[in-house]
Amino acid sequence: MPLPKAVVRKLNLESNANMDVADNLQLQRRIVGNNLRMHRTQRNGSSSRFSLSCSRKTEQGLIDFCWTFLLGSNLRGMTATILLIDDNAVQAATRQAILRRAGFSAIAVLNPQRALDQLQHGEFSTEIDLVITDHIMPGMNGSEFVRQLRQTHPKLPVLVISGLDEAEAEYESLDVRFRLKPFPPDCLLATVDDLVKPALKSPSEQPVR
């Protein structure tokens, strides 16, 4: 089926590029299951296809997946490693795909306590250059996670993405970048670029023992 007009309008509003999404992208859903199949035709005549399984059929879900496709692969060529913390598996997977296609290494963890334990005990195979966390999560919210993280990683860049404007006050003096949802992929990647550049220029921070 064609990409819904409401989604096209939002994609165009969220884009900083001079690109007519309606001409470049067509979305089709397979009859069996929840597979989304995307077909992109570029102005030079070349075309490409992309398909994935999606359990969330909301308008914003379509927008997220379309952006993942439109951004293409390895746009930045950076090697920073980003830790994503979000109890919403679909949202975590979507952001992970966007970051990986932009050239980043992205690790998704659904449980904030587990992520904290892994960070504090050095269980990741590579140094983490940036943490992106949700605010509302079961067991431990984002502000409590960051508060405990700062005991061992006082300088590690942290990006908090939340739908609650009032939640920003909870991160006062915790040295985080706070952004409100909806947070489109182009804004996500621009913010990530800004946060990881210092980390890529200097040695990775070692945990405080």
Res 4: pLDDT? 52
Res 132: pLDDT? 98
pLDDT in tens, 160-201: 999 999 999 999 999 999 999 999 998 999 999 999 987 665
What single string gives the DSSP state of each residue in 96-160? HHHHHHTT-EEEEES-HHHHHHHHHTT-SSS---EEEEES--SSS-HHHHHHHHTTT-TT--EEE
* pTM of the model as a whole: 0.63
Res 197: pLDDT? 82
pLDDT < 70: residue spans in the chain: 1-78, 199-209
Q: Which helix (H) or strand (E) holds 86?
A: none
